[in-house]
Every structure is written in C-alpha cells, then in structure tokens.
Structure 1
Amino acid sequence: MASEKNGNDQYWLKSGFINVLQNLTGVLFGFGGFYLLVRMLDKHSFGVWTLFAATTTIFEMVRSGLIQNALIKYLSFSDAKEHNKILSASFALSGGLTVLCILVNLLLATYLGRIWNSEEIIPLFWVYSIVYLFSGILSQFHWMEQANFRFNGIFFTNFLKSGVFFCFLLFCFIFDFQIKLVQLVYVQAVALFLAILLEYYFVKDLLNFTLQVTGEWVRKLLNYGKYAFGTSIGSILSSTIDQMMLGSLLSPAASGAFNIAVRIMNLVDIPTNAIAVIVFPQSARRLATEGEAAIKYLYEKSVGTILAILIPALLFLFLFPDFVVSFIAGDKYTETIPILKVTVLYCVLIPFGRQFGTILDSIGRPKITFSLVLLSAITNLGLNYILITRMGVMGAAYATLISNIFNFAISQTILNRILNVNILNTFVYAYRFYPEFFVKYIKPRLT
C-alpha cells in the first residue's frame, strides 16, 4: 500500500512538473509572441490575426473533441491486444475529419473575410490547410503519449513548435522586418513539420497499428467521442464567440483589444490546463479500481490546488490592471484595462468548470457535460449580442461573466448530486496546499 501511495505521489509530482513546465513554456512563448506582435502590427492587423486564430482554434477542437478523450480512455485501460485496432480507428477518424475540416475552411474563407471586412484574412485560411494537416499528425502522437502516462515528448515538441514561431517574430522585431500575416501561417507549418519529426522518436515504440480499420472500434470511439466533441465545440465557442461578435458587430480592432485581456489571463491559466491533462487518465483508471468516492476527492483536490496557485495572481491583476496592460501591450490599448478587471472575476470560476468536464468525461458521462456546455454557449451567444450592441466592448466582458456564473451554479449542483462534491472542500484544499507542499517536497530537501 505504501509503495502504491509513493508511486501515485511520484506520478503526480513528475507529471505535474512536466505539464506545468510545458504549459509555462507554451504560454510564455505565446505571450512573448503576442508581446512582439502587438507592437509590430497596427490595431486592425492585430485584430484580423486575433479573429483568424479564434476561428482556426475551433477547427482544432473539432478534431480533438471527437477523438482525444475517447482514444486516451480506451488506451488507458483496454487490453493491450486491442491497442493496434484502437490506433487504426483513431487515425482513420482523424484523417477523415481533417479532410472535411479543410474543405469547410476553404469554403468559409471568403465569407468570413466579407463579414469581418478583412480581405487580407482570406489567404490566411487557404494556407492554414497545410497547418491543419500537420497538426493532426502531431496531435495523434501526443494523445498516444498521454494515454500511456508519458509527457516528455509532448513537452519537447511543443517547446520546439512554439520556439520556432517565437524566434521568427523576435528576428523580425529586432531587425525591423515588416511582416505579412500570411508569413506567420507559413512559419506555423514549418514549426509543426519539425515537431512531427521530433515526436516520432518518442512514440515510435507505440505505433503498433494495423492497416485494416475495425468498424467496431470506429463506432466505439464515435459513440464515446460524440458528446466530448459537442462539448469541445460548445466550450471553444463560449470562449471565442465574444471576439468573433466584436469583429462583426464593431470592428477587428475591438476584437484585438478584448483579446489582449484574454491573453493576459492565459498566463494565470497554466495550472488549470496542466492539471486537467493529468487528471483525465488518472480519474479514468481510479473509477475502475476505487470507485466514485475517489473521483469526488480527485475533483475537490485538483480544483483546490488550482485555486491556491491562481488566486494570488488574480488579486494582483485585479488591483493593478493599468500597470499590467501598459507593460504588456503599451499605451495604445487603454480600453483593455476595464475589460481585464471583469475578466479576472470570472477566471476564478474557470477551474471548477474545466475540471467538471474532465471528471464527468472520465467517468463515462460526457452527455451531461455536452448538455451544459451547449446551454452555456447559447446563453453566452445571446448575452454577447444583447450587451455588445448596447455597451460595446465592455458588453462582451459582462456577457462572459454572467455566462460563467450561470454555468458554475448548474455544474456544482450536478456534481453534488452525482458525486456528493462539496464546494467548500475545494477551498479547504486550497488553504492546505502551501503547507502540504512545503512539508512534502521542500522541507525534505532542506534537511
């Protein structure tokens, strides 16, 4: 029992460290690139890039939402003899979705350029087809690693991918090279291709699949993934619909100003993303071995840990938003300051919602997550339209805040009924986090 507990502690410590490091470097590279872009591009061009990135994120989520969680779940605790069939089915599904999404992307390019009054965005979508093809291969490799509780390759390839893009921007910034937006998409394609070559060496021992696609496993992946797919789409729409509607109802520049607040908040979202990656395969395995009581603890503990890390950073952002915006984006985005203060308020609720979806998906109840996310997306869409037309950019911030409060109330009611989750326990774990961390991991190294 003691060895099992030590093994679990080592898993959480090692996996947590790698994933936090991965998210940290990814966000820092992303933030560094944003820091340079916002200074090299005018407000309109930065807004166009923001709208393009928000749209292409939806395409990425379409594929990962349908396949990722299902692949990880079945690879995590299915018979090893079935792994080759599972991988074949997932590669087939991913390939089919990639082709479909590329076609949709090409068909939508001109339409989106027209409603956003941005003709320059059209070639970005055309070139993105190459990026989407490469990212599909890399994502498959990453999911295979995650299902086998391995994260090294994910870290190094994401570091390479983000690093190449950042270095290009830094070169352009230092030498005052005037960049075109389409060049950024080409650089993304090159970075992804290099990352695929590197990731192959981390997963080649896992690439045991057959060329014959088994219909049974295709159906299993689809049946499990269909709700996670809807959840992912609803979730990404909830987080990007405000920027898209600002672009169409106001201007790309308004979308860019709002995106700056979102980018700043991404810096404090690192632990949420890292812990979600760890919790999913662990909760899927714990359900099979320990039952739902272990899942309740996993949810409360993980959310408490995230809150302990987030709250100090959120307090700083709330108290000094003018300093943060001025330091990060310069003086030309002062309209972002009040947006940031509202954004901080709903960021406190994000860990509850993120882990809600992770836990319910892992225990085989993705339909509930899908229904809630769909309801939240519809609510967010309606609130954004009403409040943006009446209040401008600030309307998008208030709409997202109200939508998150609504989502939080419903999700906690569901968790209480299914797993007897107590919200107060999350704050107890948050309070205990620092002394426990010190006693377990810092003090032994000091003595």
Structure 2
Amino acid sequence: MASEKSGNDQYWLKSGVINVLQNLTGVLFGFGGFYLMVRMLDKHSFGVWTLFMATTTIFEMVRSGLIQNALIKYLSFSDKSEHDKILSASFALCGALTLLCIVINLIIANFLGQIWKAEEIVPLFMMYSIVYLFSGVLSQFHWMEQANFRFNGIFITNFVKSGVFFAFLAICFIFNIKIRLIELIYVQAIALFLAIVLEYFFVKDLLKFTFQVTSEWVKKLLNYGKYAFGTSIGSILSSTIDQMMLGSLLSPAASGAFNIAVRIMNLVDIPTNAIAVIVFPQSARRLATEGEGAIRYLYEKSVGTILAVLIPALAFLFLFPDFVVSFIAGNKYEETVPILKVTVLYCMLIPFARQCGTILDSIGRPKINFMLVVLNAVINLSLNYVLISRMGVMGAAYATLTSNVVSFAIAQTILHRILGVNTFHTFIYAYKFYPEFFTKYIKPRLT
C-alpha cells in the first residue's frame, strides 16, 4: 500500500511538473510572440490575425473533441491486443475529419473576409489547410503518449513548435523586418513538420496498426466522443464568439483590443490546463478502483490547488490593470484596461468549469457536460449580440462574465447531486495548499 501511494505521488509530481512546464513554455512563447506582434502590426492587422486564429482554433477543437478523450480512454484501459485496431480507427477518423474541416475552411474563407471587412484573411485560410494536416498527425501522437501516461515527448515537441514560431518573430523584431500575415502561416507549417519528425521517436514503439479499419472501434470512438465533440465546439465558441462578434459588429481592431485581455489571462490559466491533463486519466482509473468518493476528493482538491495558485496573480491584475496593459501591449490599447478588470472576475470561475468538464467526461457523463457547455454558449452568444450593440467592447466582457456566473451555479448544483461535491471545500483546500506546499517541498530543503 505504501509503495502504491508512493507511486501515485511520483506520478502526480512528475506529471504535474512536466505539464506545468509544458503549459508555461507554451503560454510564454505565445505571450512572447503576442508581445512582439502587437508592436510590429497595426491595430487592423493584429485584429485580423486575432479573428483568423479564433476561427482556426475552432477547427482544431472539432477534431480533438471527437477523438482525443475517446482514444485516451480506450488505449488506457483496453487490452493491448486491441490497440492496433483502436489506433487504425482513430487515424481514419482523424483523416476524414481533417479533410472535411479543410473543405469547410475553404468554403467559408471569402464569406468571413467580407463580414469582417478583411479580404487579406482569405489567403490565410487557404494556406492553413497544410497546417491543419500537420497538426492532425502531431495531435494523434500526443494523444497516444497521454494515454500511456507519458508527457516528455509532448513537452519537447510543443516547445519546438512554439519556439520556432517565436524565434521567427523575435528575429523580425530585432532586425526591424516587416512581416506579412501569410508568412506566419508558412512558419507554423515548418514548425509543425519539425515537431512531427521529433515526436515520431517518442511514439514509434506505440505505433501499431492494422490495415483494416474495424467498424466496431469506429463506432465506439464516435459514440464516446460525440458528446465531447459537441462540448469542445460549445466551449471554443464560448471563448471566441465575443471576439468574432466584435469583429463583425464593430471592427477587427475592436476584436484585437479584447484579445489583449484574453492573452493576459492566458498567463494565469497555466495551472488549470496542466492539472486538467493529469486529472482525466487519473479520475477515469480511480472511478473504477475507488468509487465516487475518490472522484469528489479529486475535483475539490484539484480546483482548490488551482485557486491557490491563481488568486495572487488575479489580485495583482485586478489592482494594477493600467500597469499590466501598458507594459504588455504599449500605450495604444488603453481601451483594454476596463476589459481586463472584468475578465479577471470570470477567470476565477474557469478552474471550476474546466475540472467539472474533465470529471464528467471521465466518469461517463459526457452528455451532461455537453449540455452545460451548449447552454453557456447560447447564453454567451445572445448576451454578446445584445450588449455589444449597446455598450461596444465592454458589452462583450459583461456578456462573458454573466454567462460564466450562470453556468458556474448550474454546474456546481449538478456536481453536488451526482458526486456530493461541496464548493466550499475547494476554498478550504486552497487555504491549506500554502502550508502543505511549504511542509512537503520547501521545509525539507531548508533543514
């Protein structure tokens, strides 16, 4: 029993460190690239890039939502003799979905260029088809690693992918080279290709296929993934619809100003993403071996840990938004300051929502998670349309805050009924985090 507990502690510590590093480097590279781009591009061009990335992120989430959790679940807990069939079905689904999304992408490119009054966005969509193909292969490799409780390759290849893109921007900034948006797509494709080649060496021992794609496993993956698919669509729409509607109702520049607040908040979202990656395979396994009580503890403890890390950062952002925006984006985005203060408020609720979705998916309740996300997306869409028309950019911030508060209340009620979750316990765990962390990791090094 002691050795099992020690093994669990090692898994959480090692996995946690790797995933925090992965999210930290990814966000820092992304933030660093944003820091340079916001200075090299004019407001309109930055807004166009913001709208383009928001749209392509939806395509990426469509694919991962349908396949990722299902593949991880079945590779983690199915007999190894079935792994070749599972992988073959997964790659076939991923390929078909990739081609479908590319077709849709090419069809809507001109339409989006017109409604956003940004014709220069059309060639970006055309060229992105290559990027989408490469990212599909890399995503499959990453999911295979995650299913086998490995994270080293994911960390290294994400570092390479993000690092190449950042290095290009840094060189252009240092040598005052004017960049075109289409060149950013070329660099993304090169970075992804390099990451695929590198990741192959981490997963080649797991790459076992059968040339026959079995309908049985295709159906299993689809049946499990259909609600996660809908959840991913609803989730990404909830997080990008405000920027898209700002682009169409106001201007790409307004979308860019709002995106700056979102980018800043991404810096404090690192622990949420890292712990979600670890919790999913652990919660699925604990449900089978320890029951619902372990899942309740896992949710309350993980959310409490995230809150303990987030609260100091969020307090600083709320108290000094002028300094943060000026330091990060310069003096031409003063309109972002009040947006950031509102964004900080609903960022407090993100750990609850993210871990709620992870837990519901892992215990076989993806339909409930799907309905929660769709509800949030509908409320967010409706409020954005009304409030942006009346209040401008601030309307998007208040719409997102309101939809998150409503979804939080409903989700906590559902978790209490299903698992007996007590929301107040998360704050207790957050409070206990600091002395526990000091006792376990700081004090031993001081003595």
- TM category, shorter: over 0.9
- Report whether the alignment pairs 1:32 with 2:15: no
Partner Cα separation in structure 1 for residue 226 and residue 20 of structure 2: 29
For residue 309 of structure 2, what is the amino acid of its counterpart? I
Letter in 2 for 1:359: I
Q: Distance in 2 between matches of 1:446 and 1:319?
A: 33
Residue 297 of structure 1: aligned partner: 297
SS in 2 for 1:205: coil
C-alpha distance in 1 between matches for 2:401 and 2:444:
42
Matched with 1:122 is 122
Q: Which SS does the other structure have where 2:415 is aligned?
A: helix
Determine if the alignment matches structure 1 residue 427 to structure 2 residue 445: no
Is 2:358 the counterpart of 1:358?
Answer: yes
Amino acid aligned to 2:152: N
Q: How does 1:397-436 map to 2 (within 5 A)?
A: 397-436=397-436
* Paired residues for 1:45-444 under 5 Å: 45-444=45-444
TM-score normalized by the length of structure 2: 1.00
- Structure 1 SS opposite 2:269: helix
Q: Name the amino acid aligned to 1:336.
A: T
CA–CA distance in structure 2, aligned partners of residues 420 and 267 of structure 1: 32
What is the CA distance between 1:440 and its match in structure 2? Answer: 1.5
Kindly provide the amino acid, as one letter, of the partner of residue 240 in structure 1: T
State the secondary structure of the residue aligned to 1:435. helix
Which amino acid counterpart does residue 412 of structure 2 have in structure 1? Q
Deviation track 1:125-183 (CA, whole Å, cap 9, x = no partner) reads 00000000000000000000000000000000000000000000000001111110000
Pairwise CA distance, 1:120: 0.2
* Residue identity matched to 2:311: I
- For the residue of structure 2 that corresponds to 1:206, the secondary structure is coil
Counterpart Cα distance in 2 of 1:264 and 1:108: 30
1:13 counterpart residue number: 13
1:130 maps to a residue whose letter is: I
The letter of the residue matching 2:397 is A
* Local SS of the residue matching 2:208: coil
Query: For residues 317 and 421 of structure 1, what CA distance do their matches in structure 2 show?
Result: 30
Task: Give deviations 1:357-407, integer Å, cap 9, x for gaps.
Answer: 000000000000001101110110000000000000000000000000000
Report % sequence identity: 83
Unaligned ranges ≥5, structure 2 = none
Cα offset, 1:439, TM superposition: 1.4
Letter in 1 for 2:241: I
Distance between the aligned counterparts of 1:211 and 1:366, measured in 2? 31
Distance 1:263 1:417 in 2: 35
Q: Deviations over 1:312-370 (max 9, x none)?
A: 00000000000000000000000000000000000000000000000000000000000
- Which whole-Å CA distance do the structure 2 matches of 1:217 and 1:395 have between them? 45
Deviations 1:14-33 (A, max 9, x none): 00000000000000000000
Q: What do the CA deviations read for 1:32-55 (whole angstroms, capped 9, x no partner)?
A: 000000000000000000000000
2:268 aligned partner, one-letter code: V
What does the per-residue CA deviation read over 1:93-131, in whole Å, with 9 as the maximum and x for residues that have no partner?
A: 000000000000000100000000000000000000000
Supply the distance in 2 between the matched residues of 1:212 and 1:273 (Cα, whole angstroms). 36
The count of residues paired between Structure 1 and Structure 2 equals 447
What is the rounded CA distance, in whole Å, between the counterparts of 2:88 and 2:211 in structure 1? 7
CA distance in 2, matches of 1:138, 1:442: 37
Instruction: Specify the SS of the correspondent of 1:179.
Output: coil
The range that moved more, 74-83 or 331-340, is 74-83
